[in-house]
Chain A
Amino acid sequence: VFTFEAPSFLLLALLVPPGIYLKHFSKSRGNLVSFPFAIWKNVGFVPRIHGIRVLLFFSHSAFWIGCICIIIALAGPAVFLREKVFLTRGIDMVLVLDESPSMAARDFQPVNRFETAREVIRRFVRNRENDPIGLVSFSYEAVLRVPPTLDYEHLIKKLDELSIMDLGDGTAIGMGLSVACLHLRSSTAAEKVIILLTDGKNNTGEISPETAADIAAQMGIRVYTVGIGGKDETPIEFSDPKTGKFYRGTLEEGFDEELLRKIAENSKGNYFYAGNPGTLGSIFQAIDALETIERRVRIEVRSNPIHGRFILLGLLLIFADFLIRKKFLREVL
């Protein structure tokens, strides 16, 4: 929104029309001087060249536009920015995402399960406000990629950098969950949530998923579990980021529905099954709708002054006019 901090200065613009009259139209103006014609043997002048008159017109226009710029700058032009400031604490969330090779299964079009999950998470994050969100990824190992933060740009950047097989081959659901719990430990949020996405059975890691779920429940963290993947055999394609080797095959095994249901129930969360990309999208919408918290917001207004541009423009225009008239046209009066 564009406003003026001291609009009364705009009244100075009323001086511009009298100024133009005085400078260019008044009969007794200073750039007229009378002298006897006789010394020119009554011949008079050759009419002025058209081009010069046009140049002079532009030069005078530049001068007066410059004056108006200066008057506008005096009035303190500013752009007001509204910023939403949250007065309440949001919900702390950690997304736990499976990056095991099976996530490359092509039953989720257009690319695979992993890309679909990534896209859905991206949309989910952009929809949230004021809720610190973190990211843990796991396959053979589990790693914290981003701690719970409101810096969503950073989160999405890190999400985009993930790649399948980065953490080896395997599905360490228990490790993924416990890393998420660890990083919610120092959270002061009243509500804490983990969203676990996996398409496989737990087959590695020092901490079992049940133990991790108990830890979460004890810490008062709700765990939403999302099992992804169709139940039939699916083709799978991916390349190992470390060796660049390309793999292709068929995936036969799905996720452990019973386990995911148990983890969710233990921690008062919910279990969801995403058999296709559409359901995955709506599951995240459902979680988005479930996880709401009362918010108090203050609107802060900040003004961003922009008088500098007007001063600079006015200064350059007026100087250009002076230069053209006095230097190039060699105006005498």
Chain B
Amino acid sequence: VRIEHPEYLLLLAFSGAAAYIGARNYFSGRASLIVLTGRSDDDNFFNRYLVKSFFGTLFICFFIAFSVLALADISWGKVPVEEDRVGLDIVFSLDISRSMLAADAEPNRLKASTEIAGELVRRLPSARFGVVIFKGAGITAIPMTEDRSVLESFLEQVDPGMVNASGTDIESGLDAALAAFPAGTGRHRAIVLISDGESRGGGAMKNPIRAAEEGIPVFSIGVGGTEGSTIGLPGGGLVTGTGRKPVVTRLNEGALKNAAETTGGTYFSAAEPGTAGRVAEKILGFEESRGKTGFRLVSSRRYRVFLFAGFLALAMHILIGSLGWKKKE
């Protein structure tokens, strides 16, 4: 079971508000009716009023709750969608933030990343590649191309100075990666996200969901160690934070794992030997299985089940409010 838009669940508060308003309205209405009709408090009329008020409010609350569940787009199960593609387009989304200069990978995280990317380019001879680089914002560095020499020379000289925006934002890296696939090419698509995962912001990520909808798996690779490391500057010295203390950065796998899981990709740790080989194997496996079956599985949208239940509750609300008072008084 997956909730595509969990933020809408906050609207469930409307349901509670409706219940509160309904209850208050019952008590004030009852008092008004006593004054208006001159009936005594224990008249059977007021029992019916209670029943009608109670169920009328209950069904409007149900309606709100079910509509909100429909809006949150809860899905379970998978349905196949036809996908007739040939060939493979891969975008590297490469984190070039300053924390990537930490030396807890050999020789540093950034170099380790570009080595893996270069190795992947060599292992996937029939694929086309593009490269986006990101820090606080992402840009296309190499557009999708067959030209391998440009990829190789770019990967050799990639440097944190290539993007101005500071910080790390994996969302913007994925955003740029999704934009880097040219339209209308009819090839299988995959993103290789390489980062130390140190992301500011946080909260639910939208782009993995977008990628999943478009059938683009994210194969994410975490570089660096979880025990933490200082960041060496190219000219010597360390990156320092407040109080001149060296900044310590550690691999944060959360966002990387999330992106992989949401999109049907896989997470890899660069610390284990032979990472590039395993990634290449996974990507080839993905291409082959898609190519063979000719379809991909997408999560099945179930909003209609909830919305129809909500609609029925709304109909009940109208009926209860509209039906007469049984006996003519």
Report which A residues bind B (CB closer than 8 A).
6, 12, 15, 19, 22-23, 26, 28-36, 39, 67, 70-71, 73-74, 76, 83-87, 92, 129-130, 132, 134, 144, 146-152, 154-155, 182-188, 298, 300, 305, 307-308, 311-312, 314-315, 318-319, 322-323, 326-327, 330-333
Nearest chain B CB to A144's CB is how many angstroms away? 6
Contact status B322-A130, CB under 8 Å: no
Contact status B184-A330, CB under 8 Å: no
Chain A residue numbers with a CB within 8 Å of B314 are 67, 70, 318
A84 to B186, CA, bound (A): 9
Q: A83-B184, A130-B184 are in contact. Are A315 and B64 (CB under 8 A)?
A: yes
Chain B residue numbers with a CB within 8 Å of A92 are 146
Q: Could you jot down 25 A-B contacts, CB within 8 Å?
A: A30-B320, A30-B323, A30-B324, A30-B325, A31-B321, A74-B311, A83-B184, A84-B184, A147-B142, A147-B150, A149-B130, A149-B182, A151-B144, A152-B182, A186-B147, A187-B146, A188-B146, A311-B67, A311-B70, A311-B307, A315-B11, A315-B64, A319-B18, A331-B29, A332-B29
Please tell me which stretch of B30-38, B157-165, B195-203, B280-288 contacts chain A, meaning at least 4 of its Cβ atoms lie within 8 angstroms of it: B30-38
From A15, A32, A308, contact of B73 by CB (8 A): A308
Q: Is B246 an interface residue (CB 8 A)?
A: no
List the A residue with the shortest CB-CB distance to B325: A33
Q: How many residues of B contact A (CB 8 A)?
A: 63
Chain B residue numbers with a CB within 8 Å of A129 are 184
Q: A144-B150, A183-B149 are in contact. Are A327 and B21 (CB under 8 A)?
A: yes
List the A residue with the shortest CB-CB distance to B18: A322
Chain A residue numbers with a CB within 8 Å of B149 are 182-183, 185-186
Contact status B307-A74, CB under 8 Å: yes
A86 to B187, CA, bound (A): 10
Contact status B143-A26, CB under 8 Å: no
Give the top 4 A-B pairs by smallest Cβ distance, nearest first: A151-B143, A28-B324, A147-B147, A150-B182
Contact status B148-A186, CB under 8 Å: yes
Contact status B329-A34, CB under 8 Å: yes
Q: Is B108 an interface residue (CB 8 A)?
A: no
From B63, B143, B301, B307, contact of A155 by CB (8 A): B143
Chain A residue numbers with a CB within 8 Å of B147 are 134, 147-148, 183-187
Q: Is B44 an interface residue (CB 8 A)?
A: no
- Binary contact track B294-323/A, C-beta < 8 Å → 1, others 0: 000000010110011011001100111111
Contact status B38-A149, CB under 8 Å: no
Chain B residue numbers with a CB within 8 Å of A31 are 321-322
For chain A, what secondary structure do more than half of its interface residues adopt (helix, strand, loop), or is it mixed? mixed
A187 to B148, CA, bound (A): 9
A185 to B71, CA, bound (A): 52
Q: Which of B17, B147, B148 has the most CB of A within 10 A?
A: B147
Nearest chain A CB to B59's CB is how many angstroms away? 11
Nearest chain A CB to B303's CB is how many angstroms away? 6
A184 to B145, CA, bound (A): 10
Chain B residue numbers with a CB within 8 Å of A147 are 142-143, 145-147, 150
Apart from A70-B310, A327-B21, what 7 extra A-B contacts exist at CB < 8 Å? A22-B318, A26-B322, A92-B146, A147-B147, A151-B180, A186-B147, A330-B29
Q: Which of A67, A146, A149 has the most CB of B within 10 A?
A: A149
Chain A residue numbers with a CB within 8 Å of B11 are 315
Q: Is B1 an interface residue (CB 8 A)?
A: no
- Binary contact track B109-130/A, C-beta < 8 Å → 1, others 0: 0000000000000000000001
Which residues between 1 and 44 of chain B lie within 8 Å of chain A, taking CB atoms?
Answer: 5, 8, 11, 14, 17-18, 21-22, 25, 28-29, 32-33, 36-39
- Binary contact track B57-76/A, C-beta < 8 Å → 1, others 0: 00010011001101101000
Chain A residue numbers with a CB within 8 Å of B71 are 308, 311-312, 315
A149 to B180, CA, bound (A): 11
Chain A residue numbers with a CB within 8 Å of B186 are 85-87, 298, 300
A87 to B184, CA, bound (A): 9
- Binary contact track B136-178/A, C-beta < 8 Å → 1, others 0: 0000101111111110000000000000000000000000000
Q: A86-B185, A134-B147, A150-B144 are in contact. Are A33 and B67 (CB under 8 A)?
A: no
Chain B residue numbers with a CB within 8 Å of A332 are 25, 28-29, 32-33
Chain B residue numbers with a CB within 8 Å of A76 are 304
From B37, B184, B318, B320, contact of A85 by CB (8 A): B184
Chain B residue numbers with a CB within 8 Å of A185 are 147, 149
Q: Which of B140, B146, B182 has the most CB of A within 10 A?
A: B146
A188 to B17, CA, bound (A): 64
Contact status A327-B321, CB under 8 Å: no
Q: A30-B320, A70-B310, A70-B311 are in contact. Are A6 and B304 (CB under 8 A)?
A: yes
Contact status A33-B37, CB under 8 Å: yes
Contact status A154-B143, CB under 8 Å: yes
Nearest chain B CB to A73's CB is how many angstroms away? 6
Chain A residue numbers with a CB within 8 Å of B52 are 30
A29 to B321, CA, bound (A): 8
List the B residue with the shortest CB-CB distance to A24: B322
Contact status A150-B185, CB under 8 Å: yes
Chain B residue numbers with a CB within 8 Å of A144 are 150
Q: A23-B321, A311-B67 are in contact. Are A39 and B38 (CB under 8 A)?
A: yes
A67 to B307, CA, bound (A): 11
Nearest chain A CB to B193's CB is how many angstroms away? 19
List the B residue with the shortest CB-CB distance to A184: B147
A308 to B184, CA, bound (A): 27
Nearest chain B CB to A33's CB is how many angstroms away? 6
Contact status A314-B67, CB under 8 Å: yes
List the A residue with the shortest CB-CB distance to B323: A30
List the B residue with the shortest CB-CB distance to A75: B304
Q: Is B245 an interface residue (CB 8 A)?
A: no
Q: Is B328 an interface residue (CB 8 A)?
A: yes
A132 to B150, CA, bound (A): 15
List the A residue with the shortest CB-CB distance to B39: A35
Contact status B143-A326, CB under 8 Å: no
